[in-house]
Structure 1
C-alpha cells in the first residue's frame, strides 16, 4: 500500500500543477483563435511544431537522463547535474551562433525564424532545470512552476496581442518571456543548492548521461513525426488554413492527455523506485489496467460533450474541426498506453528499444499520411495517427513482456472497443442525444475499477 500511496501522492502533487496549467492552456485556445486568423494560427502552430522537433537535438534529451541517474545514484547528484549543464551550455552556444548567422541573411520572414530559435533556447534551459527539480524531490515546486508558466503564457499573450504589428511575432514574444520568467523562478527555488560547479564536471558522467540519452533523441524525433508530421503534410496537401483547423482538433484530445501527463510524471518516479521488486509484474499490470480504464472513460466523456466543447473553445470558422476529433481521441489512448509501456524500457535501461519501436510507428505514420490525406482530407491524418500508435502499442506490449509481464483485463479491453466504436458511429450519424449513454456503460461494465479507486482512497485517508 505504501507504493500505491506514494504514487497517489505524487499524482496529486503533479495534478494540482498540471490540471491548472492544462486548463489555462485550454482557455488560451479561444483567445488564439480570436486574435489570429486560421492562416496565422496555422503558421504559428507550424513553427512551434518545428521547435518541438529541434528540442531533442539541442538538448540531447539530457532532462530524461538526469532524472534516471539522480534517482539511481543521489550521492553523485552534483556531478550529474553539473555535467548535464556543461553539455547543455555548449548546445545553447551552438544555437546562439546559428541565430547570429541568420541575422546576416536576407531571407523573407528571417526574423520569425530567429524568434523560433530564441524560443528553442529558453525551452532547452527550462526543461533541464525543471526536470532537475523533480529529480531531487521538489515535486511541489515542479508543479507550481508548470502552473506559473501556463499563467504567464496566457496573460502575456493577452497583453501582447493588444499591440499593433504581426500577431505571430507577438505570439512568440509572449512564449519566450514566459519561459524566461519560469527559468528565473526555478533558479530562485534552487538558490540553496549547487546547480553547477565546473570542478564537478566529469567525463565519465558526460559519457553515461549521453549514452543513455542519445537513443532517446531519435525516439523523440520519431514521436514528433507521429505527432506532428500530419500537420506538415496537411499543410502541404491542404494549406495553412486547414492546418489551423486541424490544429484546433488536436487540442481536444489534450483534455485526455491532462490525465496521462499528470500520471506519467508520478509513474516515472514509481517505476524506477519499484524496478527491482519481486512482485513488480502485479503492480505494473494493475496500474496498466487502471490507466486504460481512466483513458477510455475520459475519451467517452469528451465525445459526449464534444459539440459543447467546440462552441466554447473555437470560433465558427474552426467548428468543422470536430470531425477529426474521434480518431485523434482513439489514437491518444494508444499513444498514452505506448508511453506507459515505454517506461518499461527505461526501467531496464534499454533506450534502444524505445527508439526501434518509435521508428516503426513514424515510418508507418508518414506513409499512411501521404496515402490517406489526398484521399480523405484531414481525417486521413487522424486515421494515420490512430493506426501508427496502435501498432507501436502492440509491439511494445509484446517486447516488454520479457522484462515485465502485463496481465491485460480483456473484459475491459473488449467492452471499451465496442463502446467507443459505437459512440463514434453515433457521433458521425449526428445522434448527439444518445452520447450520454456511453460513459455510463463504461462505468457499469467496469465498475470494479471505481470501487477499487474508492477503496484505495479510503485506505490512504485513514493512514
Structure 2
C-alpha cells in the first residue's frame, strides 16, 4: 500500500485525538458554566463566543491559513512565512486592542470589550503557531498544542469561576491567560522556532502573496456564518422560538457526522498539498474522495437506524418530533463534506478567490430558498434549503476544479447508495412500514454497494495498525 494513504490515515487519527479531546474538555466546561453562571450569563457567553469566532478571520486577516499553505509550498523560507504571519496578527491585533481601549475611554464601551479584543489577539497568534506546526509536518505538536490550550482554558476558567467567583469576566480573563500561556509554551519549547525566526529574512513580496491568498478566505468564513445564522433568524421570523428550539435539537445529530468529516478534511488538506505535483494525483484524489463519500453515506445510514429510538429515549416527548428534520440535514452534511473536500483543491492551486465565489453562491441560494420554502413547508423548508445549497456548491466546485484535478466519481456506487439512503429516510416517515426490516435491508444494500471502498478503507486501517504493532 502506498505511503501516501498511510500518512493520510495516521494524520486523521492524530487529528481525531486532538479534536475529540478538545470537545470532551469543552463539554466539561459546560458543566462548570451551568454550576456557576445563571442562564442569562451563559447565554451571553455563548453569544460572545460566536462573535469572537466571527471576528477572528477579520482581525487576523485569515493569515494563519496562508501560513499553512506557504510553509507547505516548499520553495519559501519557513521562517519568513512564520514571521509574516506573526507580524500581521501582531500589527492588526494591536490596532484592534488600541481601538477597543479608545472605545472604552471615549465612547463608554464596556471594559469587557478590551478583554474580548485580547482573546482574539492571543487566539490569532496561537492559530499561526498551530498552522506552522501543521504545515511543517509536526502533527503531534499541533495536536498537543490544541489539547494543552483546551486544558488550560478549562483549568483557569474553572478556578476563576469556582474559587474567585468572577462570573463572565472570569471566563474572558481565563481565555486570555490560557491562550497566552499556550503561546509562550509553544514559542519556548517547540524546538527551533526561536532559531528559525532569528534567521528569517523580511520578505515584503512574500507578505503580499500571502495576503492575496488569505484575504478571499475572510468573506468565505462570513458566507458560511450567514448560511447558519440566516437559518436561525428566518426560523425566528416566520415560525417563532419554539421552531428554533426544534431545529436546534435536530441539528445536534448531523453535527456528529460534520465533526467526523471536518477531522478528515484537516488531514486531507495536508495530503492534497503534498501530492499536488505527483503524476498520479488524479487517481489519489479520486480514490480518497470516493472513500469519503462511502464513509459518510454508511455512517448516515447507521444514524438513521437508531434515529427515532434515540430521540424517544434521550429526549422528552415535546422534542420527539424533531427527528423528522434529521434525515434531510444528514444529506446537507454529506454534501457539505464533499464540497469541503473539493474546496481543498482551491487551496492547493492558490485559487482562494474561487472558494469565496462558490461559497457566495451557496449562501445566496440558501437565503433565497429559505424565504421561499419556510412559508410553504416550515422547518422542512430550512432543511431542504441547506441541503440544496450545499449540493449546488459541491457541483459547482466539482465542475470548476476539473481544470486542476479530474476527480473520477464512482457514479455506479455513489448514485445507488444515495438512492438507497433516501429510500431508507422516506420509510421512517411511514408508520406502517416495519423500521427494523427497512433499516436492516437499507444498511445491507449500502454496505454491499460500497464494498469496494470498504475494502479500500479497511486495508489502509489494518496495515497501518500492523505497522504500529497494534494488531
Shorter chain as denominator, the TM-score bin is 0.7 to 0.9
| Partner residue in 2 for 1:137 | 137
Q: How many pairs does the alignment contain?
A: 461
Shift of 1:240: 6.2
Q: How does 1:37-48 map to 2 (within 5 A)?
A: 44-48=45-49
User: CA–CA distance in 1 between the matches of 2:42 and 2:430?
Assistant: 30
Equivalent residue for 2:22?
A: 21
Query: Residue deviations 1:111-152, cap 9 Å, x none?
Result: 665554444333322221211111122101211222334445
Partner residue of 1:441? Answer: 445
TM-score, normalisation: structure 1 = 0.85
Q: Give how far 1:55 is off.
A: 1.9
Match of 1:401 in 2: 402
Query: 1:394, 1:187 → 2: CA distance?
Result: 42
Alpha carbons of 1:227 and 1:171: their partners in 2 closer, same or farther (altered >3 Å)? Answer: farther
After TM superposition, the structure 1 = structure 2 runs for residues 308-319 of structure 1, keeping only pairs within 5 Å, are none
Separation in 1, partners of 2:390, 2:97? 36
1:276–1:310: structure 2 CA closer, same or farther, 3 Å change rule? same
Uncovered stretches (5+) of structure 2, i.e. residues with no partner: none
CA distance in 2 between partners of 1:202 and 1:331 (Å): 43
Residue of structure 1 in register with 2:283 after alignment: 282
Deviation at 1:353, TM superposition (A): 1.5
Matched, 1:69 2:70: yes
Change in 2 beyond 3 A, CA 1:58/1:249: farther
Matches within 5 A, 1:59-458: 59-73=60-74, 76-104=77-105, 105-106=107-108, 110=110, 116-153=116-153, 175-176=175-176, 178-190=178-190, 192-194=192-194, 196-197=197-198, 200-237=201-238, 243=244, 246-306=247-307, 321-429=322-430, 433=436, 436-437=439-440, 438-458=442-462
Q: CA deviation at 1:410?
A: 1.5
CA distance, structure 2, for counterparts of residue 286 and residue 222 of structure 1: 29
Worse overlay, 410-419 or 354-363: 410-419
Does the aligned pair in 2 maintain the 1:67–1:132 contact within 8 Å?
yes
2-side partners of 1:285 and 1:347: how far apart? 15
Question: How well do the aligned residues superpose, as a CA RMSD in angstroms?
Answer: 3.5
With 290-299 and 413-422 compared, the bigger mean Cα shift is at 413-422
Q: Shift in Å at residue 213 of structure 1?
A: 1.2
The structure whose Rg is larger is 2
Q: TM-score, normalised by structure 2?
A: 0.84
Larger relative contact order (CA 8 Å, sep ≥ 6): 1
Secondary structure of the residue that 2:11 maps to in structure 1?
helix
Give 1:24 shift: 4.5
Question: Any gaps of 5 or more consecutive residues in structure 1?
Answer: none
CA drift at 1:335: 0.8
